[in-house]
Amino acid sequence: MPLLTRSNSSNMNITRFKSGPIAAVAALSILLSCSKNFTSPQQSSSSNLTTTAVTPAVAATSSYQLIWSDEFNTDGGFDTSKWSFCERGTPAWTKYLTENPAYAYVGSGNLKLRMDNSVITGDSIAYHSGGVKTSGKFNFLYGKVEVRAKFNQGQGSWPAIWMMPDNPVAYGGWPNSGEIDIMEHVNFGSVVYQTVHNATVTSSSGGSSASHAASYNASDYNIYTLVWSPASLQFYVNNVLQYTYSKPAGATYLNWPYDQPFYIILNQSGGAGWPGAITDSNLPFTMDVDYVRVYKNSLLTNGGFETGALSPWTTWGTVSQLVSTDARTGSYAIREQGTGETSIEQSITGLEANTTYRFGGFGKVDTAGQSVLLGVKNYGGSAVDANITSTTYQHNAVLFTTGASNTSATLYYYKPLSGTVFGDDFYLEKMQ
């Protein structure tokens, strides 16, 4: 049953056998020989800052914020900045995978995944099937993922929506590092399965005792949702809670390896393993995915700038303003530009003392060789930040733990030198 032998590289094979439902932060080094002495946010005092907007600290209030999505609105090949093909391998679900674009493409507002017995020149296996993954392109830790999809039934069919750890051996080989199955269906079943795998609940044969069978509408689209927090994995079908796997008391990686980033997999497989042999007259098998959306339960206000105003962020330095030309998602992003230092900051109150949080987001620079820092200060410890140097939107994040008497923090997005940088989809989440 599921065995994972894959490196963190996106071009390595996932090896996973399923038999049934029971089934960093980079440091920034800058010479100080410019016309103005370099002063990072962690070194600056408030007397050095030129604030263009004075806004009181914002109380931490959780609300879901979209940080990543694919609406599949452009016909043709899928977006290769977000997805890559799942590779063929020895596990049952990978046995017939192909990278032929006829089996994973976008049409009529859907990602279309297909399995059939057509003949492909140069690839003479009995069947071909399609699958895509975000490995090496997008992963996340905690939040909500929502997938709207429909699929047909047939003997030998096995569509799935699921997640695997970005570091496949963080706690050892499968199942030690975990697996989260948001939806699986086989054959003509009247239910879908939502399943958790780890070293404690998964048997030597590959089944899992942490699985739930849920009713679904076989003739239409359904919404499959995972809400993932530091305390639980909650599975929904059509916005109705179906199953909760809670973090056990005194948990270790053996029963809770779900404290690391995971990536998303969508595939239409079949013909081996759990569903058994295919009845050819039932072909083709298809799964149409209307959208995939990932949200963060963020404590940050206006992290995506979709209010159309910068507030409650404050600014100092040279020019910072909202723009609509370089938004990563939605309508707006922040642009910092000019010949000197620039930063936007937001002070958050109402945090918990002695508690770990994660501040993350997406940024890019206008020209190679530039950089921007995403970081946190004034939380009871030394300032921490992550360097972003990509000319396309790149995700980065930092962890910080509030002090014994600290219930606030200041978040910043800081351009230390001349140039132009952009930022979008910032979030702040509690990690424990």
DSSP 158-194: EEEEEEEESSTTBTBTTTTT-EEEEEE--TT-SEEEE
Q: Which residues pair with 111 in a beta bridge?
A: 106, 289
Cis amide bond preceding 230, omega within 30: no
Marked catalytic residue, from 71, 99, 146, 184: 184
Cis amide bond preceding 257, omega within 30: no
Closest CA to 411 of 24, 42, 30: 42
Classified as helix, coil or strand, 103 is: helix
Token reading at 227: 């809400």
Marked catalytic residue, from 179, 336, 341, 429: 179
Residue 306 is a catalytic residue: no
What Å distances lie between residue 6 and 164, 167, 251, CA to CA? 11, 9, 26
Cis amide bond preceding 261, omega within 30: no
What Å distances lie between residue 429 and 60, 64, 186, 401, CA to CA? 10, 10, 36, 12
DSSP, res 347 = E
Token reading at 179: 């697996």
Residue 429 is a catalytic residue: no
Cβ atoms of 292 and 110 closer than 8 Å: no
For 2, other C-beta atoms within 10 Å of its C-beta total 24
The beta-strand segments (E) located in 366-403 are: 372-377, 384-388, 394-401
Cβ atoms of 322 and 310 closer than 8 Å: yes
- The rounded distance, in Å, linking the Cα atoms of 70 and 247 is 30
Closest CA to 173 of 14, 16, 5, 11: 5
Please list the active-site residues.
179, 184
